[in-house]
């Protein structure tokens, strides 16, 4: 398990990976650090990938954000 990073709403983290891979991500509620409120498998190939963590109505989701459309 990697280093824990505390993020507040609107904050972000960047990480540079030199080759394709996967990583498990666990999201914890600060008052209860024993049980994750969400977990997800992050996967990347050779392109940049952005993931979003959103909480709505006591449900936390982790999802890949589609890249912006390329201009012709």
64 neighbors 51 (Cβ within 8 angstroms): yes
pLDDT of 33:
83
> Mind listing the pLDDT tens digit for each residue in 15-67?
888 888 888 888 888 888 888 888 888 888 877 788 888 888 888 888 888 87
Q: Rounded mean pLDDT of 6-14? A: 85
Q: Based on the number of CB atoms within 10 Å of its own CB, is 69 exposed (0-12), middle (13-18) or buried (19 or more)?
A: exposed
One-letter-per-residue 3-state SS of the chain? CCCCCCCCCCCCCCCCCCCCEEEEEEECECCECCCCCEEEEEEECCCCCEEEEEEECCEEEEEEECCCCCCC
Is the pLDDT at 1 greater than 70? The verdict is: no
Query: 0.85 cut: is pTM over it?
Result: no
């Amino acid at each position: 398990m990697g280093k824990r990073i505390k993020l507040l709403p609107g904050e972000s983290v960047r990480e540079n990976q030199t080759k394709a891979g996967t990583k498990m991500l666990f999201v914890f509620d600060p008052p209860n650090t024993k049980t994750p409120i969400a977990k997800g498998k992050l996967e990347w190939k050779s392109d940049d990938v952005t993931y979003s963590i959103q909480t709505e109505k006591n449900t936390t989701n982790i999802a890949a954000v589609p890249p912006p459309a390329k201009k012709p």
